[in-house]
Amino acid sequence: MSLIELKNISKLYSDGDIETPALHDISFRIEQGEFVAIMGPSGSGKSTLLHILGFLDSQTKGEYFFDGKAITDYSNEDLAHIRNKKMGFIFQSFNLLPRTTVFENVKLPLFYSKVKESSWDRIAMDSIEMAGLSHRANHLSSQLSGGEKQRTAIARALVNSPQVIFADEPTGNLDSKSGGQIMEFLEKLNNIGHTIILITHETYTAEYSQRIIHLKDGEVESDKVINYDHRRRGKDHFMK
């Protein structure tokens, strides 16, 4: 059973009499533990697809199965619970609260979870330690470097031990060194069992993945497994 399965997903945006197609008959599967990059140029449908995969938007046509069950069979409460418990999100703009500490930012998702409050501090610190930010836990997020902000965002995404982590252009606002560290961290998370879905327009970032789904004009142009040499090439870019 696939973790994610899309069957003929299409998305059409309507504004009065004007209709704008964004996705056309998208079909693919993602297995638990895969590291998949979804890439393509601006306007290819990457963001629309991410929003559908993360339950932030719904398709116009087609079927989406998560954990073997059609999302139309989940209640709104179920979808909210899955989004909080089984999905983690990392964004290019970090989306941190600037006047709160690293610790407070990371702990935030637990307020909306069913985890016992007595465990929140320990879980948050465990995630912060995994991200290598223990020494910055009590610093305001506004005091962090770009790489530290993104690692804080990753730690926040990890607190609920999600099955799948969506990383939306995670290196877009970072220098080459910090970008390489973030990609290596995502690779490490994949190696310990997290499914990673990377949204990117950069080939060298996508080459950290095991598989690249390339979108063009809202359609799947290609879906290829990445061999070791290509994955090495992505690492070499950040090492320059």
Question: Which pTM value belongs to this model?
Answer: 0.91
Which band of pLDDT confidence, cut at 50, 70 and 90, is reported for residue 49? very high
Residue 19, pLDDT score: 86
What are the tens digits of pLDDT across the range 132-157? Answer: 999 999 999 999 999 999 999 999 99
pLDDT of 235 over the 80 cut: no
Rounded to an integer, the average pLDDT of 63-90 is 93
pLDDT at position 227: 81
Q: Cβ distance 77 to 136 under 8 Å?
A: no
> What is the rounded average pLDDT of the residues 204-224?
95
| pLDDT value of residue 55 | 95
Banded model confidence at residue 54, pLDDT cuts 50, 70, 90 = very high
pLDDT for residue 231 is more than 80: no
**Joined tokens for residue 89:** 């999100």
Q: Assign residue 149 a region (left: φ > 0; alpha: ψ between -120 and 50; beta: otherwise).
A: alpha
pLDDT at 130: 92
Token look-up 């501090």 returns 121
Contact 80/133 with Cβ under 8 angstroms? Answer: no
- Which helix (H) or strand (E) segment holds residue 77: the answer is helix 76-85
For range 173-190, the mean pLDDT: 92
The single-letter DSSP state of residue 191 is H
Quick check: 177 pLDDT over 70? Answer: yes
